[in-house]
Amino acid sequence: MNQIDVSLIDWSRAQFALTAMYHWLFVPLTLGLGLIMSIMETIYYRTGDEKWKRTAKFWMKLFGINFAVGVATGIILEFEFGTNWSNYSWFVGDIFGAPLAIEGIVAFFLEATFIAVMYFGWTKVSKRFHLVSTWLTVGGATLSALWILVANAWMQYPAGMGFNPDTVRNEMESFWAVALSPIAINKFFHTVISSWMLGAAFVAGISSWYLLKKREKVFALDSIKVAVLVGITGIVLSFVTGDGSANQVAEKQPMKLAAMEGLYDGGNGVGLVAAAVLTPGKQYNDSKDPFVFKIEFPKMLSFLANRDANSFVPGINDLVKGGYSTPEGPALSIEQKIEKGKIARSALAEYSVAKKANDADRAADARQRLEANFDYFGYAYFNSPADAIPNVPLVFYAFRIMVILGGFFLLLFIVVWYYSAKNKFADAPWLQWVCLFSIPLAYITSQAGWIVAEVGRQPWAIQDILPVGAAISNISAASVRLTFFVFLILFTVLLIAELSIMLKQIKAGPEKIDEGNEGY
């Protein structure tokens, strides 16, 4: 086995994580704010009330600023697959590249076409066509998210593929198996719907700032009424799709589920941890109690995972040791998977030699052994079972941050909705301050969700097939380290620029409507 430069892996992962986290500062606001402003313009279209046009145009300005910076970071993110992860791109480019190509050709061009009409067509096209353009712009952004999430879901659960030993590449066998994978569909809805919460928190927080400054009272209250209804809907549906995700993770990625729950020793009727502190330094093969303390809901994890409160849920130790019952038979240990992975990797090498020697019988035998063990191909790169375990504390705490803050925002939006319905929100400065200072919490919630999804998948670039250590490019760690800091500076400058422009627009407030030049 070739020696792997650990520092190169670490810096490559750090650079990709940096780019992804900066990019994800902009994407959920695009999706959430896009829906809210489209609803506002729809209200204007149906009522003809100019205050709603003024309201929609203001939020569109902030949408546009955020959208532009998000595109810039997204383009860099896609290029990194070729620069830092060329082995990954070679190994699965035929599959992974398809949804990214569709995203660029269909979704991005849809956005690019209609966003111009949305911003510059108020006095050039009819109200109906402008409304359609707004919805199509937001629809294009949502379609972009769909194809990106299809690609990401395939990394979590590689479906619709077959390995070609002649090209040493994975090739797509069924596009629809990739695009309509249950993991992909659920991930798409969960991600987009959870973004509605962030958009709602943003609108409610900025609107509260106007009320605290005693400015634009009607505009702010109208904006809040729309935002909180979108936020409540988004959070409730996010809990539903989150439940679906838990069930899928239990089936396809049990190690991730065990890390999410800090579960080392599984069993029947396992409880769901509500709050806990993990024991520092806990390892899978020691005798330490995993928790300093914990509060749990009895049997809830078994129910969420398998829809059976008394079902068996494997922990990290069970997954490492194997032997527990599954529908396919006794579970393999990590050591057994490593051995099968080595058989698959050796068979691939033997197949290549036999093909060059025109030894058909030997090639056929090697191919048969390869196909019989290919499901564990990636385990050949591991030196010990510990290599297959993600960062448990990071995944565990990120999951709880996501869930607890999700519950906080549901409560907050319900309280804001009640105060708005009773026309009391304008006289509740304490609640306005809570909304304003909750904006950063919405971003933390969103980022925590991606930490669970991506760190929980580690050490895999593609689940069970390709670990990150085998997916990187053969470049120097120094060059990756240099570009990491270049990107850090660049993205920070972009973020500061975006915040500065947004703050300037927010301070300026909604524009005054020129009653004599509406164009409709």
Q: Write out pLDDT tens, residues 379-404.
A: 999 999 999 999 999 999 999 999 99
Backbone phi and psi for residue 40, each to the nearest 5 degrees, phi listed first: -65, -40
- Model confidence band, residue 514 (pLDDT cutoffs 50, 70, 90): low
The whole-number pLDDT of residue 516 equals 41
- Cα→Cα distances 65→68, 71, 72, 399, Å: 6, 10, 12, 30
What pLDDT score was predicted for residue 2? 47
Q: What pTM was computed for the model?
A: 0.90
- Please, which residues have CB within 8 angstroms of residue 152's CB and are 6 or more apart in sequence? 187, 453
pLDDT attached to residue 518: 42
pLDDT digits (tens, 9 = 90+) for 480-511: 999 999 999 999 999 999 999 999 999 999 98
Residue 163, beta-bridge partner list: 170
SS3 of residue 516 by DSSP: coil
Q: Specify the pLDDT at position 1.
A: 42
With bands split at pLDDT 50, 70 and 90, how would you rate the model's confidence at 70?
confident
For 427-436, write each residue's pLDDT tens digit.
Answer: 999 999 999 9
Give the separation between CA 262 and CA 315, rounded to whole angstroms: 8
Nearest one of 241, 238, 232, 237 to 201, comparing CA atoms: 232
Pairing of strands 329-330, 325-326: antiparallel
Q: Which of 339, 321, 429 has its CA nearest to residue 377?
A: 339
Mean pLDDT estimate for the chain: 90
Angle, helices 429-437/392-421, rounded to nearest 10 degrees: 150
Peptide bond into 459 cis (omega under 30): yes
- What sign does the dihedral 441-447-452-458 (CA atoms) show? negative
Q: 513: pLDDT confidence band, cut at 50, 70 and 90?
A: low
Q: Which of 103-112, 122-131, 319-328 has the lowest mean pLDDT?
A: 103-112
- Asked whether the predicted pLDDT for residue 163 surpasses 60, the reply is yes
Is the confidence at residue 310, as pLDDT, over 70? yes
- pLDDT bin (cut points 50, 70, 90) of residue 4 is low
DSSP assignment of 442-459: HHHHHHHHHHHHHHTTTT
What whole-number distance in Å separates Cα of residue 373 and Cα of residue 340?
6
Residue 3 confidence (pLDDT): 54
Nearest Cα to 198, choosing from 438, 508, 376? 438
| Euclidean distance between CA atoms 464 and 375, whole angstroms | 7
**Nearest to 249, CA basis, from 452, 459, 461:** 452
Percent of the chain whose predicted confidence (pLDDT) is above 90:
60
Quick one: the chain helix, strand, coil %, rounded to 5? 75, 5, 20
User: Can you give the C-alpha Rg of the chain in angstroms?
Assistant: 25
Q: At what angle do helices 392-421 and 217-252 cross, to 10 degrees?
A: 150
Q: What pLDDT, on the 0 to 100 scale, is given for residue 329? A: 86
Three-state secondary structure call for residue 282:
coil
Q: What is the largest CA-CA distance in the chain?
A: 84
Average pLDDT over residues 440-444: 96
Query: With helix as H, strand as E and coil as C, how does 46-82 read?
Result: HHCCHHHHHHHHHHHHHHHHHHHHHHHHHHHHHHHHH
pLDDT at 374 (0 to 100): 92
Percent of the chain whose pLDDT exceeds 70: 98
Q: In the predicted model, is pLDDT for residue 443 greater than 60?
A: yes
Residue 89 — very low, low, confident or very high, per pLDDT cuts 50/70/90?
A: confident
Give residue-wise pLDDT tens across range 95-118: 888 888 888 777 777 777 888 889
List of E strands, 98-201? 161-164, 169-172
Of 167 and 412, the structure prediction assigns the larger pLDDT to 412
Quick check: 91 pLDDT over 90?
no
Go through the chain and tell me how many residues it has. Answer: 520
312-335 average pLDDT score: 91
> Do strands 460-462 and 466-467 pair parallel, antiparallel, or not at all (unpaired)?
antiparallel
